[in-house]
Amino acid sequence: PYQQIDDTGARVNGVNYYTQILCNPYYTAYFTVPNKNRENVLDVLLCGKEKTYCFTDEAYNLMKTFNVSQSWMEKLSSFKNKIFSDEEMRRKLDCVFSLNGYKTTKKKVLEACAIAAYHQSKDIPVVTTLLSDDARQFRQIAYHHALCWIHDGRNYKKLRPIVPYHKEKLKAFLNSYWNFYGELSKFRIKPDSEVAEQLSVKFDQLFSTKTGYEQLDERIAKTKENKEQLLKVLVLPEVPLHNNAAELAARAKVRKRDVSLQTITEEGTKANDTFMTIVQTAKKLGVSAYQYICDRVGGTFGMPSLAQLIGEKSSISRN
């Protein structure tokens, strides 16, 4: 019902890359890509399918969200309801924006149209609920975007008050913060619509607090801006409050990087991602990764595929 995502750094032949980690309770998958932007995230979610772009109403609404000016949107109106391949889209935009001009605006248009096309996909399962930290590249990808409370809480730990009064205010607020987190955890176990309304009101009250400690008040206001994403659990109780599963998967990648340092070729990078995916997914499914790899490489095929086990466990969970 939901997917979790995170990323971490990677090295490919001396160049900085990024590994995107996509997971849920039944699998963990690794994808090493050259950049961390929305288009690369979509490439991961497209499951190897070719990316397309469409100028639907949703695409134009996303352009507004991404602050594309009205004048540019009017110039793009002639493309409304049209679908383009990656090559066609870039050629069209080069004509509208000039070959090397308005790169930021062009990027926003590409992202908006790619997201709109992804949401219309029929031949792959579209991710409707995504849990992540608040990194920009994860925003607007899914209809339901949940944010990690643990990641948000770390922002308060970055505050380093010197004045004793400020220290007391920070400590008192963090006690209230984690008490509220505890209430959300209880709600997940036993959802109730009336309690959901009460927690929504309590969120507004807690994150409207004014302490007189300027940096803390600014941080509180930023948390309040993310109310919808942080309280996604009130409408989708199955979604975790934290992104620990994806972060732990990212740490596994970091440990591997500490040993291997980097990959050299594209094939080696894909092999590295593949074996990381097999090992971490097998662990979640209670399967010996060593025995599974021996079964496949040896051509025995006596063990069920990981994909089959994922499907079976997912079906049991839904029932």
pLDDT, mean of residues 285-292:
97
Q: Between the CA of residue 293 and those of 63, 142, 222, 279, what are the distances in Å?
A: 45, 34, 47, 9
Average pLDDT, the chain: 95
* Strand extents, DSSP E, 13-108: 15-24, 27-33, 52-54, 83-85
- Res. 92 pLDDT band, cuts 50 70 90: very high
Q: In the structure, what pLDDT confidence band is assigned to residue 319 with cuts at 50, 70 and 90?
A: low
Examine the pLDDT at 121 and tell me if it is beyond 80: yes
Q: Is the pLDDT of residue 98 over 90?
A: no
φ, ψ dihedrals at 50, nearest 5°? -70, 135
What pLDDT is recorded for position 48? 87
Q: What is the DSSP string of 224-271?
A: HHTHHHHTGGGT-TTS-SS-HHHHHHHHHHHHHHHHH--B-SHHHHHH
Q: Are 169 and 209 in contact (CB under 8 A)?
A: no
Q: Place 125 in a pLDDT band, splitting at 50, 70 and 90.
A: very high
pLDDT in tens, 71-86: 999 999 999 999 999 9
Q: What's the Cα-to-Cα distance from 37 to each of 9, 42, 58, 123, rounded to whole Å? A: 13, 9, 19, 23
Sign of torsion over alpha carbons 225, 229, 233, 236? positive
What is the three-state SS of 176-202? HHHHHHHHHHHHHHCCCHHHHHHHHHH
Amino acid, single-letter form, for residue 258: D
Model pTM score: 0.92
CA distance linking residue 299 with residue 238, whole number of Å: 39
Domain ranges of the chain: 150-234
Length of the chain in terms of residues written: 319
Q: What is the pLDDT of residue 232?
A: 98
Amino acid 316: pLDDT = 80
The reported pLDDT for the residue numbered 189 is 96
Contact status, residue 40 vs residue 5, Cβ threshold 8 Å: no
How much is the average pLDDT of 256-260? 93
| pLDDT value of position 317 | 73
- Whether the Cβ atoms of residue 29 and residue 276 lie closer than 8 Å to each other: no
C-beta atoms surrounding 299 within 10 Å: 6
CA distance readout (Å), 313 to 238, 308, 309: 16, 9, 6
Burial, 270: exposed, middle or buried (Cβ in 10 Å; 0-12, 13-18, 19+)? middle
Tell me what the mean pLDDT of segment 123-128 comes to. 94
